[in-house]
Structure 1
Amino acid sequence: MNQPSPSITPEQALDLAQNAVSEKQLSESAFENLKRWVTEPQYASYQPALLQLIEDKAFDDLDTFFWEVIPFGTGGRRGLMSELGSATINERTIAESAHGLAAYYKKFSGQETGKAAIAHDSRINSSKFARIAASVLAAHGLTVYFFKTSRSTPELSFAVRQLGCDVGAMITASHNPPSDNGFKAYWSTGGQVLPPHDQGIIDEVYQATEIPVVDFDTAVEQGTIQLIDEDVAGEYRKCVAEHSHSSARELKGLFTPLHGVGETSVFQVLQHVGFKGIERFEPQCEQNGNFPNVPDQLPNPERDEVYQPAIEQASQTGAEIILASDPDADRLGVCVKNDAGEFVHLTGNQVGALLADYVLRKQKENGSLTPEHYVVETIVTTPLIAAITRSAGARIINNLLVGFKYIAETMDAEGPDKFVFGTEESLGYLAGTYCRDKDAAIGALWACELAAELKSEGKTLLNHLDELYVEHGFHLEGQVSKTCKGSQGNEQIRQLMKAFRSTPPQKMGQLTFTLVRDYADLEIRSLPENTTAETFSKPKGNVLMFEARAEGSPLTVQLGVRPSGTEPKIKFYYFAQAEVSEAGQLAETKASALATIEEFKQSLMDWIDQTLQTS
């Protein structure tokens, strides 16, 4: 960076910063982190720029850069890129992340050597950050297997397992905007780090002073960094393809990687198994971290808007399905045509239910399904999957906190040989034992096989979803969220969680709340009294799950509330259920549920705004 020439000393700068705290221009947490960067020798190269920012009284920027030390959330460390700051992704925080991972691994294992795998997606600076991480891990004495080209997150998870690595790292910010990047840390299982490892790594990050580093190219010459690419990726694709359950391949569709790496995994797997009618949506195929041809440059396949460009082409070419993977290709979104010929965006819950039903039916048909086999989902994923699983005669494990790492942990704890399928509502799907993270490729393979089979019967995915509703009850799920950025936003999230916990709403729209399951306090409280009715033992996390009933209706509703672990948001998940006695009642049940939920959502957002105004 260009070095400014500030006219103030570090002592004077800290006095100014302390005054800014007193005047509420800078948060206490930002001041504490900023003080370290201003005074400690490992941050010397950043200090001139910091002193200049303080002299210029750029306290809004400084608060953004320093209000926290990025923690390991549900998807690793992720955030805004900036040249400096403890709360942002930059060369120093990436190096600290790699150092923390290596230092903790060596302390935990008692070993001075080991093996690591590193991959990166196509985001801005991902390649540079990956080289930094590799150089730090190699300096710590680990042999590093480094993907030469941009790859998907599940390919990194696969590589950790395939190459017998002790740790791994993926440089990505998943579906975040172009301004962001991140560092996902993996353990020897191929799954993301879990407690207590995550806190142990962060402790090492915070204690980092001078970080060892080697020259990347020199390390490659010496063999401490070994380049990998198609040799490993090809094996990964074979493993995905081995989970095919059908020979049906007559399907016409479009696939978009949303300017990410999905062509290397999702599209190549589909081509490998013979889905020749699935074509690439070329305007969004270029790997480009600015996501120029994605509406609003927000490449999240949960958003309806991202499909509009592909829908325009699909409507002209007669495509029946549209598939979209996020930039690191661990999530998959699906759009299909309804009976009127219009494209409908399926939710992650709907796709998860369809895929769970598909694989359970296939295993039942070939006689391989036993009562010991199990499906795994998180507590904010649709109850329809549990109903489908129990009906098939398999086990459902559905008491997991949000984060696919908990599904991976359950696979290893319960035994991967009986694992059928794992899913979460945010478009995450996994089968098999080849990796321990969600994978858009396996989701695409099964979605296309199921769609092709249904097509041969004159049906669509939507038709089959209705059949599941008639059999197991109508299920309507969705999510709304409120974005709360920086230290002020963090305080807003804290206030909202406190309000939902201590003075919860009694009624929203037509819904009356009857109880809340508090995963932080591990207790169930009856409402409106908010008094403890019973306790439970796990899982423990900052999540609230409310139950409600609609007046004069058979509809039951749940509301999940949790702070996001990857974005500056508080998220609200709703789940509505109603029995359907016959197919002819389904349309009426759907309409009634939709109307109730729309009124509920508006009431929810009004309550949130009012709570923040009075806090």
Structure 2
Amino acid sequence: MKIADRVSIWKNKPFDKKTIKKIIELEKNEDELNERFHSDLEFGTGGIRGVMGIGSNRINKYTISKFTQGLADHLNKTLKKKQKTLIIAYDNRRNSKFFSNEVAKVLSANNFNVILFDDVRPTPLLSFSIRHFNADGGIMITASHNPPEYNGYKVYNSFGGQIVPPDDKKISESIKKLNFNKIKWDNNKSKVKIIDDNFDKIYFKKIISNSVLKKKNREKLKIVYSSLHGTGIKSIPPLLNEAGYKDINLVENQCFINENFLNTNTSNPEDKSAFEQTILLAEKINGEIIITTDPDADRLGVGVRDFKKNWVLLNGNQLMVLFLSFLLEKEFKKENFFVSTTLVSSPLFEKIAKKNKIECKLCHTGFKWIADVIEKEKKKTFLCGGEESFGFLHGNEVRDKDAASASLLFCDMFSFLKSKGETVISYLIEIYKDYGFYYDKLYTITRKGRKGAAEIKKQIEVLRLKPPKTIAGINVSKIDDFKTGLSYLKNGKIKKIDLPKTNLIIYYLEENSRISVRPSGTEPKIKFYINLYSKCNNTFDLNKESNKLEKKVKQIIKHFN
């Protein structure tokens, strides 16, 4: 469809007068008009995410409602039961509450029973509630850790995980063939049920019952926490307090709900600047652990002190290998245990699992794929799953990464190690000595807008068409191209890859290192996941080895620029 045709549609009913007036104003600025109407917002990666505003490729009342109508049409077609129930939750972003009410209107108008949370809630609580109420799915209004101008719409299935193919494609097809004048907005309030924070206590109780330490064994810890203005304030402090960790010190000017993330440099715990104020408070009160969570409280960021009492911010890969090692030490070893991680996460996680004779299921990037693995392997016992982007899950009550349960697990691990006179850093070093050291680094190239999207596509295709034989002086021994579904070996042999196709290339290097390249599914970025391996011995120095491999990382980045 041409831009002019899209604009024409938006200048007529059912669009309101305010929207039409705004579009007429936009017509005076051709570049801005083209940016907003050059395409329709695509449904993918479990839902949609984008910048808010007027336009066909923006998040607004009309695009949100069209997605909801398309979802309702799909579910009415595929689910034969008369009474269908969907649960709606939302985070602290601009318009999140408004969008959630619009979603409830459309669903109730389509004869769905709707359970709507009364206030902002973390994403993992939605996943838990779907399973608890035996609902047919759910919708989370959130843009996770994206900047304030973004919002989004995650769709969950009946077992509490984000949707995966072929369901996402079927929903997308249902949306694409829908005209805006077919959206039902006749709100049926009798179909909408509101739930309050009493339900949250059920969630906390389940997490605590699944924890590996008993309350009496929990050491006194001085914890510093920041929700970065997000929903984590609703889950992390009350959960830890209920579990027995009473000394929780809040970064007060970041621990209230704010749609603009007022007192933060970033709302993403993957970014070191997100910890600036937690470190300041921890220094002031002599804190032992610092914790931050992203706006919808599914990602966990933590920091601990090293041997010199300096703060070390653990990355997602380090967290997942620490958690796995701790759980294997504390849990009873059952024959049917399995764990799961993503292809771009640290190879160390799989290595630890294999050495302990635990099955490790590898899957594509995104926690929805780990949730899919859990559901497909439900006859076995899921121990835990993790991904490099600060996501982790322990136990069976939730089907998404969960910062609440992960924060309790981290405090329990810290407490257990403290009782033995050990530290998290000393524990991590022992893991490296046992299994080898991986220096993990994420490098991103951002390309915004319509032009940027084209540049990202071109750069990935160039890498695909001209595969390197060496990267930063290291020979490439194998290339896995998940778009073609083929693995290219150095000796010229080609093998098929037994996983669904996706736009991902993995370069295996001769020194047991690895580089994965993919376009982000939620942001205008190309991501380079660098995993550099080094053997360890008794004289292993974490800082020295990290500095040495960081130089190699810079050479690798230079290769791709």
Runs ≥4 in structure 1, deviation > 6 angstroms?
A: none
Q: 1:410-425, aligned counterparts within 5 Å?
A: 410-415=373-378, 417-425=380-388
Matches of 1:557 and 1:449, distance apart in 2 = 32
Q: Of the candidates 162, 183, 187, which is equivalent to residue 153 of structure 2? A: 183
Assess if the C-alpha contact under 8 Å between 1:470 and 1:586 holds in 2: no
Q: Return the offset for 1:459.
A: 2.3
Q: 1:375-524, aligned counterparts within 5 Å?
A: 375-398=339-362, 400-415=363-378, 417-524=380-487
Give CA deviations for 1:200-221 in whole Å, capped at 9, x if unaligned.
2222222233211234xxx44x
**Alignment correspondent of 2:333:** 369
Counterpart amino acid of 1:243? N
Q: Of the candidates 195, 198, 201, which is equivalent to residue 234 of structure 1? A: 201
Matches of 2:34 and 2:245, distance apart in 1 = 50
Give CA deviations for 1:495-538 in whole Å, capped at 9, x if unaligned.
011011001233333333232100111111246x9x65222231
Give CA deviations for 1:456-480 in whole Å, capped at 9, x if unaligned.
2332211111110000001111101
**Cα 1:30–1:383, aligned 2, differ >3 Å: closer, same or farther?**
farther
Q: Return the offset for 1:30.
A: 4.5
Assess if the C-alpha contact under 8 Å between 1:371 and 1:393 holds in 2: no
**Alignment correspondent of 1:316:** 284
Q: Under a length normalisation based on structure 1, what TM-score does the superposition of the two structures give? A: 0.86
Matches of 1:315 and 1:588, distance apart in 2 = 25
Give CA deviations for 1:219-267 in whole Å, capped at 9, x if unaligned.
44x3x10010223221111111112112223211201110001011122
Counterpart amino acid of 1:397? K
Q: Of the candidates 20, 29, 34, which is equivalent to residue 63 of structure 1? A: 34
Counterpart amino acid of 1:349? N
**Seq. identity, %:** 32
Counterpart amino acid of 1:570? I
Larger radius of gyration: 1
SS in 2 for 1:132: helix
**Cα 1:391–1:286, aligned 2, differ >3 Å: closer, same or farther?**
same
**Alignment correspondent of 1:533:** 494
**Alignment correspondent of 1:14:** none
Give CA deviations for 1:93-152 in whole Å, capped at 9, x if unaligned.
111121122111111113453111001111111110000001111110011001001100
**Alignment correspondent of 2:299:** 331
SS in 1 for 2:270: coil
Assess if the C-alpha contact under 8 Å between 1:416 and 1:433 holds in 2: no
SS in 1 for 2:477: strand
Q: Which runs of 5+ in 2 are unaligned?
A: none
Counterpart amino acid of 2:204? R
Q: Of the candidates 574, 578, 581, which is equivalent to residue 530 of structure 2? A: 574
**Alignment correspondent of 1:98:** 68
Q: Of the candidates 258, 272, 281, which is equivalent to residue 304 of structure 1? A: 272
SS in 1 for 2:513: strand
Counterpart amino acid of 1:571? K
Counterpart amino acid of 1:244? S
Give CA deviations for 1:346-400 in whole Å, capped at 9, x if unaligned.
100000110111112111xxxx3223210100001111111211222211112x1
Q: Return the offset for 1:577.
A: 1.2
Q: Of the candidates 229, 244, 266, which is equivalent to residue 259 of structure 1? A: 229
**Alignment correspondent of 2:318:** 350
Q: Under a length normalisation based on structure 2, what TM-score does the superposition of the two structures give? A: 0.95
**Cα 1:569–1:226, aligned 2, differ >3 Å: closer, same or farther?**
same
Matches of 1:498 and 1:433, distance apart in 2 = 39
Assess if the C-alpha contact under 8 Å between 2:49 and 2:522 holds in 1: yes
Assess if the C-alpha contact under 8 Å between 1:115 and 1:167 holds in 2: yes
SS in 1 for 2:224: strand
**Cα 1:581–1:316, aligned 2, differ >3 Å: closer, same or farther?**
same
Q: Return the offset for 1:276.
A: 1.1
Matches of 1:584 and 1:564, distance apart in 2 = 35
SS in 2 for 1:158: helix
Matches of 2:286 and 2:369, distance apart in 1 = 40
Matches of 1:207 and 1:269, distance apart in 2 = 44
Matches of 1:562 and 1:463, distance apart in 2 = 34
**Cα 1:538–1:30, aligned 2, differ >3 Å: closer, same or farther?**
farther
> Is 2:23 aligned against 1:50?
yes
Assess if the C-alpha contact under 8 Å between 1:76 and 1:566 holds in 2: no
Matches of 2:110 and 2:377, distance apart in 1 = 34
Matches of 1:29 and 1:302, distance apart in 2 = 39
**Alignment correspondent of 1:8:** none
Matches of 2:154 and 2:316, distance apart in 1 = 22
> Is 2:211 aligned against 1:244?
yes
Counterpart amino acid of 1:214? D
**Alignment correspondent of 1:151:** 121
Matches of 2:459 and 2:429, distance apart in 1 = 36
Assess if the C-alpha contact under 8 Å between 2:219 and 2:419 holds in 1: no
**Alignment correspondent of 1:601:** 557
**Cα 1:496–1:270, aligned 2, differ >3 Å: closer, same or farther?**
same
Counterpart amino acid of 2:372? E
> Is 2:76 aligned against 1:76?
no
- Tell me how large the CA RMSD over aligned residues is: 2.0
Matches of 1:168 and 1:238, distance apart in 2 = 22
Q: Which runs of 5+ in 1 are unaligned?
A: 1-27, 550-554, 607-615
Assess if the C-alpha contact under 8 Å between 1:547 and 1:556 holds in 2: yes
**Alignment correspondent of 2:185:** 213
Matches of 2:137 and 2:197, distance apart in 1 = 21
Q: Return the offset for 1:339.
A: 1.2
